[in-house]
Each structure stands twice: as C-alpha cells, then as structure tokens.
Structure 1
Amino acid sequence: MARKEFQLEIVTPERIVYSDKVVSITAQAEDGRLGILHDHRPLVTKLQIAPFSFITQEGQEENVAISGSGYLEVTPQKVTVLCQTAELSHEIELERAQEAKERAEERLQASDEAIDYSRAEASLKRAIARIDAARAQRNDD
C-alpha cells in the first residue's frame, strides 16, 4: 500500500526553509510529542524549541532544528510551520552549535547578577535543538 503524502511548508521571516511533499512529521509541541500523517485532524499548536523531523516522499528522514518560537498548523491541504528560526540539519555547523551550548552553560553557572538567565536558558535550548537535529541526521546517513 502506497503511503499518502501531504504538503509541508516550514517558513521563517527570512525564507522558506522547506516546501515539498512528505509522508509523516514528528514535532515537539507544548503538550508533548506529536506525530502527523495524511488526513490528520486540523489543529494549531505551539512548538517547543526542539528538533523536528519528517519523512520525505522518497522515504528519507530529514531533521530540522526549530530554534525559535513557532507554531504548527494542520489543514486538510497541508501542514505549515511558522517559526522565528529553523535550520535543516545539513545547514547546521555542529562545532559552532557545541560552542554556543558551552557558552550558554557557562553563563548559567556564573553567579553574576548582570546575566539574563532566561536569555541564557533560551540560548542553551536553541543550541541543544541544533546539536540534536544535526546529530540525528548524521546518524541516519
């Protein structure tokens, strides 16, 4: 039995990160992990800063780092992800992401009152999402 496809668009203010047919999506929503297949019921949900994956029509798993606030909308025609920032895993420089993680961890461990801890935590989450997406793709190759 052939897998049914549906359109996925991942859009940031700067660009369309991805626009093509897919057969499934896995995302981290605020309420937990979410899997989407063809004919999923319509919904809108807020996405967590986390890796996002999908299976292409060719059967390849692709990983994306959703590293900024975002929303996922499911309609009968397509799934749209609107987010501040997103990177396909092959665009992520793993070394830079690891350095960003280390910097964020250092800021969080410092006892300096001038440090914005919520900003440092957000930086750490973004770096971890980027690292996880990049590593997941490299493990699949």
Structure 2
Amino acid sequence: MPVHLEIVTAERQIYSDEVDLISAPTRDGRVGILPRHAPLLTILQPGELTIVKDGTRTPFAVSGGFMEVLPDRVTILADTVERADDIDATRVEAAIKRAEELRQSAQTDQEMALAEAKLRKEMVRLQVMRMREIGRRQ
C-alpha cells in the first residue's frame, strides 16, 4: 500500500505519484516516511530528497520548504527542487565558484549569510548529481 506524494514549487508541480518511501532532510534531521505515517508538518532543509518506488531510488535536490504528512498523502512545497537527471555539472561548478567569490567579497553579515546559503544550495546539487553518477556505474 503506497502513499501518494506531490512535490510542488510556486511555479509548477514537479512530481505526483504513488511511492513506497520518502526520505527528506528536515530541520530536526533526516526523516523517513512510509505509508500510514503519523501526521506531521515540518520544515525542509537544503539537502537530498529521496523517493523509492518499486525498488527504484530517485534523488532530488531540494533547497528548503515544507512537508505535510498525512496517513495516505504527503505534500512537499519546496522553494526549489531538481531531479538528479536535470542537474548540469558545468552549471553547478560555475555556481559554486560564484558563491565562493561572493563569500570572499562579503562585507556585511547579511552578504556573508546569503553567500553561504547559495553555496550550501549548490553543494547539495553537486552531491545529488554525484549520487546519480554513482548509481549509473553500479
């Protein structure tokens, strides 16, 4: 008995299907969601969002947002989310370089915080992209 998962951003619906497992990065640590999970409302942190359906693991890079869990349905409202297959290595590496340059040139605490948040987001994208590559080699 799977659970229905919907992943949406402000712009569009990213994913909608029945899944067997959801593993998400939350403010309190990683949580695993199975069908009939107790109700939960939590804040998502930047990290790898993983879904498992019929034994196939699909990673996503999520930059933050919220997750509502009901016994038969999970809704993720994400700031941004990307499938591992949609992440371009060249663009990620360039964005990491830009974020590091912003961090180096930051003159206020606010500029530093923004640069570090951008760097964390890009590092998550890089990690998810690498996990996809490792999965293809196995």
Unaligned runs of 5+ in 1: none
Unpaired runs of 5+ residues, structure 2, are none
Rounded Cα–Cα distance in structure 2 between residues aligned with 1:113 and 1:96: 26
| Aligned residue-pair number | 135
- Name the counterpart of 1:65: 61
Match of 2:10, SS state, is coil
Q: Percent identity between the aligned chains? A: 38
Deviation at 1:135, TM superposition (A): 1.3
RMSD: 1.5
CA shift for structure 1 position 104: 1.0
CA distance in 1, matches of 2:44, 2:85: 21
Counterpart residue number, 1:9: 6
Aligned pair partner of 1:96 in 88, 91, 94: 91
* Residues 1:75 and 2:101 are matched in the alignment: no
Aligned position for 2:107: 113
How far apart are 1:120 and its partner, in Å? 0.5
Quote how far apart the aligned CAs of 1:107 are. Answer: 2.1
Secondary structure of the structure 1 residue equivalent to 2:5: strand
Q: What amino acid is the match of 1:125?
A: R
Per the normalisation by structure 1, the TM-score is: 0.89
One-letter amino acid of the counterpart of residue 120, structure 2:
K
Which one-letter code corresponds to 1:120 in the other structure?
A
**Structure 1 segments of 4 or more deviating over 4 A?**
none
Instruction: Provide the residue aligned with 1:34 in structure 2.
Output: 31
Q: Is the 8 A contact 2:35 2:72 kept in 1?
A: no
Q: Is the 8 A contact 2:37 2:69 kept in 1?
A: yes
